[in-house]
Structure formats: C-alpha cells, structure tokens
Amino acid sequence: MKYINSPISTINFKNRQIFIKRDDLLDIDFSGNKARKFYYFLKHDFKGIKKIISFGSAQANSLYSLSVLAKIKNVKLDFYVSHIATYLKENLQGNYKEALNNGANIIELNQNELSTQEYIENHILKSEEEYIYIEEGGRVKEAEYGIQILANEINKWAKENKKENLKVFLPSGTGTTALFLQKHLNHEVITCACVGDEEYLKKQFLQLNCDETQHPTILKNKKKYHFGKLYKEFYEIQLELLKDTNIEFDLLYDSLGWLNLISSDYFQDDDIIYIHQGGILGNESMIKRYINKYL
Ligand SMILES: *Cc1c(COP(=O)(O)O)cnc(C)c1O
C-alpha cells in the first residue's frame, strides 16, 4: 500500500472546518473501508488456500477489493450474486468491470428459494476445499485487525494535535467498521444507517458486541431511504462537496452521511474528523443514473 498511515485533509464546508481522514487515498487499487477490513488477509499467509469465496451485489465495493486481494495473493475469487442486471452485463462499468478485469469469477445464482448466503452455506461450501469464506461486505472478525490500525492512527493524530474532544464520524453499512473503531478509539464514534434503518444497524452492533455502552452513537435519518435508490438531495450534496472541497465522495454512503452530519448538533459544536471510506469506483454508474433521471 502506498500509505501506511493515510493523510488527513482540512476542509471548509458550510462554514465549518472539518478534518477528513483520507482512506480513499490508501492505495490506487486497495483503498477505503474494504482495504482496512481485508488488511488482515493481505498481511497473513494464504498457505494452502486456493480460493476466496464471498457474495454480495454485482456493483459492491467489496467485490472489487476482494478481486485485488485475490490477484495479489494469486488465488481465485468466486463471488456469488443473486442477480446481475442485463444493463450492467451489456455496459460493463465500475466495480463489476474492474473485478472482471482482475479475473474475478462472478457467479449469478438466479434462484429464489434461499438467500445467497444460505445457498452458499448449504450448497457451495460443502463441495469446496482450501478456501477462505468472507461474508457480505467484509462482516468478519478479521476486520478488527485493520480497523484497529485506523483507530490507532486517529488516536495518535488527536493527541499530537490536542483534539481531546474530537468526534469521529463515518456512515455505516453493516456497521462493522464503526463498531470496531469505537472499541479502539479514545473518542466518540458517530454514525448513521445507510443500509436498512437504525434498528437494523443496532442489531448488527449487538451481534458483534452485546455491551450497548460500547456501541457508536447512531444519528437518525430524516426520512426512510432505500440503499441504492436515487435521491436528488444525495446528488446535490455530493456535487456541493466536490465543488467546495475538491474531494469526491461516494453517492451511496457519504451523501447520506453528510446530510445527517450537517444537520446534527455535533456539526455546530465539536471538532469532527470524517472518515472517507473510498467507494469512488461505484460513482460512475450512479452518476449516469442520476443524469438520466434528473437532467
Ligand atoms: C463498505 C462501505 C461502507 C460500509 O462499511 P461497514 O463496515 O459495512 O459499515 C461505507 N462506505 C463505503 C465507501 C464502503 O465501501
């Protein structure tokens, strides 16, 4: 990786100074949130392992990151998806395209009886040998290894810069990153639910740690959002951020993250470091969809 310790930028947005932890810059190929979560696998020997097995959406950031990991480790990647849109097959782009370029084996299940996860666990894993199985979005205990390193980088920076009351903000999917960060940070972690609602996120936290006092703070969404759907305000704030800060943020997680952050009291009162978790490769197809719908 290019950086061991990703840089921190200072930006001004909505008349506030905010610090940005640039995990989007970790490395050209292996960056962002998934790089932190898969760092354990990058650093450890794949002795005897021939294949990585995982699943999720055909556009997922984890698909691309795992394809990079498989390439570096010289193993195969079998990535199961429930369905691939015809449009995507005919117009290769984003994470899907780059993962294919890296040699990923993307397998469309097209069956309705079981969830993709159940199908893999009931039918696929039994007949496979010498594999590593990684749940959707990197929801694995090994993720703690790389996230702890991220926490240590922030702890050290906060201490050196005398930011005792620093709050750390990041938007969540499975909540794995936010939860492990809170475990290792000396600062409050604030997040919001981008996949599912607050209840779903709370449940995810409870699965990883039953002690609620160690959970991150969850900001409530102003309305119900469905992951992957288009919302005009998501596109607008992404453009505004790009214009005002010169940093490109992702449209699936960051847009909702920023909308929640700027309308919270934390934004007015505290020193905030926002973790940029990458995911920019997915913007290409999202921007095309936004332009089709709104322009
Ligand atoms: C995967 C991902 C997330 C969500 O991370 P969780 O640990 O699942 O909460 C957020 N932002 C980006 C850009 C991601 O790729």
Q: Are residues 145 and 127 in the same domain?
A: no
- Residue 95's CATH number: 3.40.50.1100
Residue 2 belongs to a domain: no
Tell me the best of 22, 33, 148, 274 to mutate to test the pocket of ligand 1, counting ligand atoms within 8 Å of each CB and taking the most: 33
Please say whether the dihedral angle defined by the alpha carbons of residues 180, 199, 224 and 195, taken in this order, is positive or negative. Answer: positive
The phi, psi pair for 82, rounded to 5°, reads -75, -35
Query: Are 183 and 176 spatial neighbours (Cβ–Cβ below 8 Å)?
Result: no
Atom 3 of ligand 1, nearest CA residue = 173
> Which amino acid is located at 274 in the chain?
Y
Q: Are residues 231 and 160 in the same domain?
A: yes
For the beta carbon of residue 49, count every other beta carbon within 10 angstroms.
Answer: 16
> Which amino acid is located at 242 in the chain?
L
Segments of the chain with pLDDT less than 70? 1-3
Question: What's the confidence (pLDDT) of residue 4?
Answer: 76
How many structural domains are present in the chain? Answer: 2
Question: What's the confidence (pLDDT) of residue 57?
Answer: 95
Atom 4 of ligand 1, nearest CA residue = 173
Q: Are residues 178 and 51 in the same domain?
A: no
| pTM for the model | 0.95
Q: Distance, CA 243 to ligand 1 centroid (Å)?
A: 23
Atom 5 of ligand 1, nearest CA residue = 173
Query: Are 286 and 279 spatial neighbours (Cβ–Cβ below 8 Å)?
Result: no
Tell me the best of 54, 68, 177 to mutate to test the pocket of ligand 1, counting ligand atoms within 8 Å of each CB and taking the most: 177
Give the residue numbers spanning the domain of 114. 36-138
Report d(CA 41, CA 44) in Å as an integer: 5
> Which amino acid is located at 227 in the chain?
F
Question: What's the confidence (pLDDT) of residue 3?
Answer: 67
Query: Are 117 and 45 spatial neighbours (Cβ–Cβ below 8 Å)?
Result: no
Q: Are residues 95 and 233 in the same domain?
A: no
Say if ligand 1 is within 6 A of residue 137 CB: yes
| Average predicted confidence (pLDDT) for the chain | 95
Q: Are residues 185 and 255 in the same domain?
A: yes
